[in-house]
Amino acid sequence: MVAAVDQAMDAAGLTNPHVREYVNYWAELTGAERVEVVSASDDSRLIKESLAAGEILPAGDGLYYSRSYFKDTARSEERTIVASNNPSDAGVYNNWRSAEEMRPLLEGKMRGASAGKTMYVIPYLMAPPGSPLEAYAAGVELTDHRTVALHMIRMSRVGVDFVNNLADPNSFVRAVHVTGDLENLGQGTPEDQRYFVTIGDERTILHFGSSYGGNALLGKIAHGLRQAAYDGWASGEFLAEQFMLVGITDKKTGKKYHICGGFPSASGKTNLAMTLAPDALGDRYYVEFYGDDIAWLRVDPEDGKIYAINPEFGVFGVAKDTNAATNPGALDSVAPGTQSLFTNIAYNADTNEVWWEGKTPEPPADVTGWADWKGNLISERAEGDDSPWAHPNSRFTTTLANVPNIAADFENPKGVPIDAVIFGGRTRDREPLIRAITDLAEGVYDGLTLGAEATFAAEGVDGQLRYDPMSMRPFMAYPEGAYAAHWLKVIGQAKDQPIFAHVNWFQRDPEDGHFLWPGYRENLRPLLWLMELKNGEVKGRQTPVGIIPTKDELNLDGLEIKPEDLDTILTIDNDRWRQEMGHREKHLKQFDGLPESIWEAHRRITADLEAEG
Ligand code: GTP
Ligand code: MN
Ligand code: MN
């Protein structure tokens, strides 16, 4: 086998001796029948092979459809662990375990588990080439699932050059994915066999027991977020966050602003980055997409500005409710010819059409040929079965270049300077449309107390409120107290401090449940207000929890909203907020070593709410 593995690497020009040793080790351990090195240029051949094998199905010109195993459709947080060799790396959310325990456990599960399969070797880069953070960006994913290779080619930059020419040839992330026998893994039971482990201080990722993107695309979630967060902290150099990143140009003044921010999974990052609608506000603004899920932030020692890069190369977006009104950009980016992939939506094998809830108001009237995300024919459904046709966490995968409003300079290795950091979640009451925060500690405090309703992006209960610090709860790699201190340190170095804001597009009417704010394309309006506030052009209204817009400051041209709904989303409900502060205190008390300035912010806000109430 060793000779064959070396031959495959020779043929692909994979010369890095450390990578070759790593590939040989895992080829042997997993028992893979053969090894294949993947570059982006292999995509069309891999697509043909996947079609021939029935792993993907045609979904129109240059579009493809796949289903993941029905018990394997979301990230599994309880099965996710960030391990290390240092017990003091244990936090509340990282499920820390020792590397000593995890490595043999995972090796045991993976031993022989790829027998009869091909192991794809995917050298990748999670950064625009030439980035100052490039030293943290290289990795090699090994996977025994061809569809994962197709996704990786879209979501990251893939090719042997990214690992052959490393300044330190040993400084790549080792990311091993073994699918396992999906039908016998006891998903969600006490006998669950799955393990999704990142060993932070060994820069090694070992994922066993899933082929769903959120668990299997190791460049994206495991490296881009967990490993990078650990590296950013260990080196002291940067932050890696589950953030979207957009640019807004005001053509009247010629100024360009960059805003990044975190919303928990399935809470609107992709939508915000793709759909802000400048056309709704005359011809004055244009909005550019930089990223929708991950940003790495550093302060440039020369000009003292905060720069953000999107380490990804593609978009892995939620399909549900995506349509021409909510997110036309997403539809364009998965248009015919874009080589996009769909996962777990509804599919018509006769016509190759696809559908998901919210694509059109009603599902196709003629159900002939239509099957739901599990592959069951709609025409054979039992009477009264009205379960969704598409899985609520079904996704589309496309490359950044397909996004219609992709920024011209999205590959600028330096990244873009940040003006604002926003946080937001699904919150049905209490949280106003936007509240701005000008103090760094208060901004970090706001991120740490981000709360949102749970969604289907992770296994769990939909709709239940839970805290999700900075939207990083599923990706926390080291203790939360140290995380807060690292934030204060990195952002504190910046000469130009960003403005912070908390946004909420999801406040609902308590009676009939309708969303009070139209959301989607209209979310540009509060962001423009935020930039005006930062520029001193508007004053807003100071409240104990931040500055909120007055009605006349918010651009409401052409907006359809009931006056009483607008009043509600621009009001602070003091009673609800005072209640919330008690929950926050309990939440923050879980974290050891939280910086005193965070507690000071908490006490200051609590006291201000009491004084007003
Ligand atoms: P991940 O990719 O899982 O990290 O999630 P995300 O933050 O990118 O979420 P996404 O933008 O895909 O949105 C998830 C869901 O929220 C979709 O079903 C959207 O239709 C819905 N959504 C997004 N923005 C808005 C909004 O402004 N208003 C309302 N009501 N729904 C929204
Ligand atoms: Mn995400
Ligand atoms: Mn997204």
Q: Would you say how long the chain is, in residues? A: 613
* Residues 251 and 233 reside in one and the same domain: no
* β-bridge partners, 140: 123, 174
Asked if residue 389 belongs to a domain, the reply is no
* Residues 225 and 277 reside in one and the same domain: no
CA dist., res. 439 & res. 2, Å (int): 58
Asked if residue 604 belongs to a domain, the reply is yes
CA 67: distance to chain centroid? 20
Asked if residue 506 belongs to a domain, the reply is yes
Last residue of a domain, one of 177, 210, 237: 237
* Residues 275 and 212 reside in one and the same domain: no
* Residues 247 and 225 reside in one and the same domain: no
Last residue of a domain, one of 194, 211, 237: 237
CA dist., res. 421 & res. 260, Å (int): 5
pLDDT at residue number 3 = 86
Q: Looking at 335-455, which runs of residues are DSSP E strands?
A: 340-343, 346-348, 354-355, 370-371, 395-399, 416-417, 420-424, 434-437, 451-453
Asked if residue 392 belongs to a domain, the reply is no
* Residues 279 and 162 reside in one and the same domain: no
Helix, coil or strand: residue 318: strand
Asked if residue 372 belongs to a domain, the reply is no
- Write out residues in the chain with pLDDT < 50, as ranges: none
Nearest alpha carbon, ligand 1 atom 22: 268
Q: What is the DSSP string of 467-513?
A: E-GGG-GGG--S-HHHHHHHHHHHHHT-SSPPEEEEE-S--B-TTT-
Nearest alpha carbon, ligand 1 atom 15: 266
Last residue of a domain, one of 237, 267, 293: 237
pLDDT at residue number 166 = 96
CA angle 220/221/227 to nearest 5° reads: 100
Phi, psi of 312 (to 5 degrees): -85, 170
Q: Note down the domain range covering 468.
A: 240-310+410-612
* Residues 464 and 502 reside in one and the same domain: yes
* Residues 474 and 588 reside in one and the same domain: yes
Q: Residue 170 maps to which CATH number?
A: 3.40.449.10
Identity of the amino acid at 292: D
Asked if residue 62 belongs to a domain, the reply is no
pLDDT at residue number 459 = 59
Give me Rg for the CA atoms of the chain.
Answer: 24
CA dist., res. 69 & res. 461, Å (int): 20
pLDDT at residue number 565 = 97
Asked if residue 224 belongs to a domain, the reply is yes
What is the maximum alpha-carbon separation in the chain? Answer: 75
In the chain the first and final C-alpha atoms are separated, in Å, by 73
| Distance from the alpha carbon of residue 293 to the mean position of ligand 2, in angstroms | 5
Q: Which residues, 6+ apart, have CB-to-CB distance to 571 below 8 Å? A: 432
pLDDT at residue number 275 = 77
pLDDT at residue number 176 = 98
Q: Which residues does ligand 1 sit against, CB inside 6 Å?
A: 263, 265-271, 292-293, 317-318, 320-321, 326, 457, 505-506, 515, 519-520, 523
pLDDT at residue number 286 = 87
* Residues 424 and 524 reside in one and the same domain: yes
Identity of the amino acid at 229: A
Asked if residue 142 belongs to a domain, the reply is yes
| Annotation marks residue 387 as catalytic | no
* Residues 298 and 177 reside in one and the same domain: no
The 10 Å CB-count burial string (b at 16+, else e) for 559-573 is: eeeeeebbebbbebe
pLDDT at residue number 460 = 54
In the structure encoding, which two tokens stand for residue 4, read together?
Answer: 């064959």
pLDDT at residue number 266 = 83
Q: Residue 575 maps to which CATH number?
A: 3.90.228.20
Q: What is the ipTM of this complex?
A: 0.98
Nearest alpha carbon, ligand 1 atom 10: 268
CA angle 421/423/427 to nearest 5° reads: 160
Which of 270, 294, 320, 359 maximizes ligand 1 atoms within 8 Å of its Cβ, making it the mutation to test the pocket?
Answer: 270
CA 5: distance to chain centroid? 34
Residues placed in the known binding site for substrate: 75, 212-214, 265, 393-395
pLDDT at residue number 613 = 75
Number of domains in the chain: 2
* Residues 196 and 279 reside in one and the same domain: no
Average pLDDT, the chain: 94
pLDDT at residue number 278 = 60
pLDDT at residue number 327 = 87
* Residues 418 and 485 reside in one and the same domain: yes
* Residues 144 and 84 reside in one and the same domain: yes
